[in-house]
Amino acid sequence: MYGFAKATVNLSGQAVRHVRHGSTVSKDFHSKYGTVVLLGGAAFCTTVWGYVLTQAGITWNLSPVKRMMPKEWREAEE
């Protein structure tokens, strides 16, 4: 068990060093595509929620205040 724990810590340490030095992703990617990806995601999210709110036909359970009237009380017939 000790050997497994030691190997796991060593692997996670190597992964942290790998990420810190930026060898997993090119540093140019964010400067080239970061804004485009952000705007594309925002446009997609806005489009989907626009469809859901206007076309999907979902009943949203809005507040029933001043829209519902209580039923009249009926006495039990004996």
Q: What is residue 37's predicted lDDT score, i.e. its pLDDT? A: 95
Give tens-digit pLDDT for 32-65. 899 999 999 999 999 999 998 888 887 776 766 7
3-class DSSP state of 63: coil
Q: What is residue 4's predicted lDDT score, i.e. its pLDDT? A: 66
Q: How far, in Å, CA of 71 to CA of 15, rounded?
A: 67
Q: How far, in Å, CA of 47 to CA of 35, rounded?
A: 18
Q: What is residue 23's predicted lDDT score, i.e. its pLDDT? A: 53
pTM (two decimals): 0.43
